[in-house]
Structure 1
């Protein structure tokens, strides 16, 4: 008799992905596997037809597709943590609602590797990059020279350099109380670090998924300064953890310094641009006392 517990839980977090979610679900259901899987899809209160599409897949595949809809928007970190906690498989694979897989043997290859190599806690691989319409914009997302990463290697080389849709980890990394830095800021990078704390990470050169870049993406839709502020917050959260500070303190401290400097440069450039715009707006109107007063007020705010 087959066990009801799935071998792999495929974790999907989604928000307003009606244009993309079908490709994600189809690519998972088309996997060539001889083990059970479940799809755990958590919709973060989408305002488009994402949830309706998810429901239609659940009705067609009730034994595989499990759908959850948040009554209100939790945001990407809390939604990701919720989705992970709902997974029941031996392994957890990640496929966000706007990405998709391009190899029907993706899960088979990754699971076979982790089944064989007990000292590895996770596995990632290369991917292609596409635009919103699925057109290929880059034939490779990453090209790592090594294929075995411990925690320090992961922090040095894999931060922002692995496609989320490639990640497969042992679910057991969540068994012991996860550190506060993860539960408070659950994201793909921290999930990788959590795996790397318990075992090695394997990198495969195979391109088995597609990472989609589009303007509606949580990360791609933000500007460089916002991204750097988000990265800086992550590093400060890691720094607050004594164990992480002891193990990887030099890496974290260096990143905090670099990001702080880059943000300062961004802010100075922004001030320069705003001052230039103010000059262009007022250079022909300084005879007007009201214009002078308003301009001085704006100038004081910019220089603060």
Structure 2
């Protein structure tokens, strides 16, 4: 049908006044031969985010469809995408991007749409995402990282996906996700454990989507992820040990249930991922002796930690006075 919406862009915003203009510009400037909609959810921002979104809504009234919350929903434990965004999406596909990230390719939606139309056995399409700092400076990292990206094919099966997870955490980033809506609808009706994880909603969603078909991977950078932006989960994660420990706990619980859900099809890899989570929780608690246990040797030496980092943890675990002396000297030098 002529007016049918083919893609629904789902964007979550909260106190993103510094970033949201670039995000919205990336949406409204997409060049497509189909109709799309932009679903913005503002979670009771206390800055100027709502006014900026309203400015764009008035300019693009048929395109931008916002929800402005009067009370913060995230703080109530509500999964915003599941409750407010996905159910109202009209498109055949759902594209995702947070309000502090942005798309850099005006043909991104068209490219992903074309690949998904051509490859009906794929449930999701992704691409390379570059990283920038909170202030917008370009960083050297990407998702997937360069080592993983070098071995990826266009079509990624669930087996290949789990082999990637041996080398890195979730290798793809939200602003690259382009998903068949019918599978998201199934996801919302699916097993409850997929919706219990309190931290990053992307993990259970992508793990579920990968059980429904292959991933189509476009080897092009088409968006940028802003690391540690103000109010972001990643910023809270990096600065809040309680947040990290809760995430590790929830992720381990999810992975154990997912292992049963997939009939232990990827048991060895999931077991390794759980070991990595336990390993990281020891570091978070500064229980460094535990990471040198024999059963964590493969995690310790898999390249996640530099040699300098391993030496630091070893000294902290067995010769803490050396570290304390070093830190005292460093503080003294910094104060001069």
Is TM more than 0.5 here? yes
**Aligned match of 1:285:** none
1:135-170 Cα shifts (integer Å, max 9, x gaps): 212274323212232234324425422121111010
Correspondence for 1:183 among 195, 202, 205: 195
1:175-194 Cα shifts (integer Å, max 9, x gaps): 33233232233712222222
User: Displacement of 1:69 after TM fit?
Assistant: 2.0
Q: Secondary structure at the match of 1:240?
A: helix
The whole-number CA distance in structure 2 between the counterparts of 1:247 and 1:46 is 43
Equivalent residue runs for 1:50-65 within 5 Å:
50-65=49-64
User: Displacement of 1:49 after TM fit?
Assistant: 1.3
User: Displacement of 1:117 after TM fit?
Assistant: 0.6
How many residues are paired up? 276
Task: Select the structure of larger CA radius of gyration.
Answer: 1
The whole-number CA distance in structure 2 between the counterparts of 1:141 and 1:174 is 23
**Aligned match of 1:204:** 218
**Aligned match of 1:91:** 93
Please say which of residues 144-153 and 165-174 is displaced more in the overlay.
144-153
Q: Which runs of 4+ in 1 moved over 4 A?
A: 269-273
Kept after mapping to 2: 8 A contact 1:245/1:252: no
The whole-number CA distance in structure 1 between the counterparts of 2:40 and 2:190 is 22
User: Displacement of 1:85 after TM fit?
Assistant: 2.2
Kept after mapping to 2: 8 A contact 1:8/1:38: yes
Please say which of residues 227-236 and 167-176 is displaced more in the overlay.
227-236
Kept after mapping to 2: 8 A contact 1:130/1:136: yes
User: Displacement of 1:111 after TM fit?
Assistant: 0.4
RMSD (Å), alpha carbons = 2.7
The whole-number CA distance in structure 1 between the counterparts of 2:184 and 2:142 is 30
User: Displacement of 1:7 after TM fit?
Assistant: 0.5
TM-score calculated relative to the size of structure 2: 0.74
Equivalent residue runs for 1:129-278 within 5 Å:
129-138=131-140, 140-142=142-144, 143=146, 144=149, 145-147=151-153, 148-157=155-164, 159-176=169-186, 177-185=189-197, 187-216=201-230, 217-223=232-238, 225=241, 226-227=243-244, 229-241=246-258, 242-244=260-262, 246-269=264-287
TM-score calculated relative to the size of structure 1: 0.81
Please say which of residues 137-146 and 191-200 is displaced more in the overlay.
137-146
User: Gapped runs of 5+ residues in structure 1?
Assistant: 281-304
User: Gapped runs of 5+ residues in structure 2?
Assistant: 290-315, 326-336
User: Displacement of 1:107 after TM fit?
Assistant: 0.6
The whole-number CA distance in structure 2 between the counterparts of 1:8 and 1:100 is 17
The whole-number CA distance in structure 1 between the counterparts of 2:133 and 2:78 is 24
The whole-number CA distance in structure 2 between the counterparts of 1:96 and 1:193 is 19
The whole-number CA distance in structure 1 between the counterparts of 2:245 and 2:17 is 29
